[in-house]
Amino acid sequence: MNMKDIKSLGKAKNGPAVDAEAIRELADLLAETGLSEIEIEQNGARLRVARQLGGTVAAAAPAPVAAPAPAPAAAPAGPPPGAVPSPMVGTVYVSPEPGKPPFVKVGDTVKEGDTLLIVEAMKTMNPILAPKGGTVTDICIHDAEPVEFGQTLLVIA
């Protein structure tokens, strides 16, 4: 489309006229701001100008690279050894009833089968039993907190 065609668009008898100057101003605004598209609406007429991004990009000279810093130790993938996961979605309770002492605390020694916590699911209280004996090294939840299936509740070493 050449300039003559664009000017003739502004003389359309059916529908709103196209303002070639407004298109130029919007195109300049796109270039100035780095935007890829702009749309305006005025008096019921909508004008959208877009530019295609792409083509070749000039590569800058590589910046000098400093000696790499030692990478931080990667976090271990998955739950820690001895983790006791929640077998269901629900609300976890650390004691048998409000105001009572918790079933276990960090540093307590437990035997396989001891009750560690309770997870309430669908109004049913489900005791969470120790899968093995050992010492409770971490409690990863808080009382009356919602838990997800597989979420680590506590760790036994």
Task: For the chain, list the domains and their CATH numbers.
Answer: 18-53 (no CATH), 83-156 (2.40.50.100)
For residue 88, give the nearest of 152, 131, 150 by alpha carbon. 150
For residue 157, give the nearest of 130, 132, 134 by alpha carbon. 134
How many residues appear in the chain?
A: 157
What is the bridge-based pairing of β-strands 37-42 and 145-147?
unpaired
pLDDT in tens, 109-138: 999 999 999 999 999 999 999 999 999 999
Q: What is the pLDDT of residue 53?
A: 57
Distance (Å, rounded) from C-alpha 94 to C-alpha 104? 8
Q: What is the pLDDT of residue 76?
A: 59
Q: How far is CA 145 from CA 80, 91, 129, 131, in A?
A: 21, 6, 18, 22
What residues contact residue 35 under an 8 Å CB cut-off, 6+ apart?
29
Q: Is the pTM of this model over 0.95?
A: no
Query: Which residues of the chain carry a pLDDT beneath 70?
Result: 1-18, 30, 51-76
Q: What is the pLDDT of residue 62?
A: 52
| The one-letter amino acid at 114 | D
Q: What is the pLDDT of residue 54?
A: 54
Tally Cβ neighbours within 10 Å of residue 150: 12
Q: What is the pLDDT of residue 18?
A: 66
Tally Cβ neighbours within 10 Å of residue 102: 14
* CA dihedral sign, ordered 137, 138, 142, 144: negative
